[in-house]
Amino acid sequence: MNSDRMRQFLLEIQSELASGPSSIDFEMAYQARVAVDRIKFAIKHAEQFAPRTDQMREVELQLLDALERLQRVDRRFQERSRLATVERCGTLRVPRSAANGSGSNTTPKH
């Protein structure tokens, strides 16, 4: 393989790697969602069962802050993943529920 072809091949690999999320990105996104669910559970139980003290309010605020940070990271991952899909496919697929604005599938059932 000559050097021009090798450079082209390496550029293609680099652009593919840069264009979308890697497997570690997907793993981190999954772990973030697990953490989000657990933090929501902890907040819910703290509100229901914990005594109403200043310390517990601070704990709830810290949990809410962590929750917001993880949700922000998850949204960025989803946007990056969507952009990579658009770049590869050339079109953005809009779910039916988003397209009709109803939030439900309007396909008739037979």
Q: Give the pLDDT of residue 82.
A: 81
pTM for the full predicted model = 0.59
Environment class of 39 (CB within 10 Å of its CB; exposed 0-12, middle 13-18, buried 19+):
buried
Q: Give the pLDDT of residue 79.
A: 86
Overall average pLDDT of the 17-44 stretch: 87
- For residue 100, pLDDT over 80 is answered with no
Q: What does the pLDDT look like over 47-81, one tens digit per residue?
A: 999 999 999 999 999 999 999 999 999 998 888 88
E strand residue ranges, the chain? none
Overall average pLDDT of the 10-37 stretch: 82
d(CA 96, CA 27): 28
Q: Give the pLDDT of residue 5.
A: 85
Q: Give the pLDDT of residue 70.
A: 94
Q: Give the pLDDT of residue 102.
A: 52
Residue 41's nearest CA partner among 58, 63, 71, 56 is 63
For residue 107, give every residue at least 6 positions away whose Cβ sits within 8 Å of its Cβ, in sequence order, or none.
96
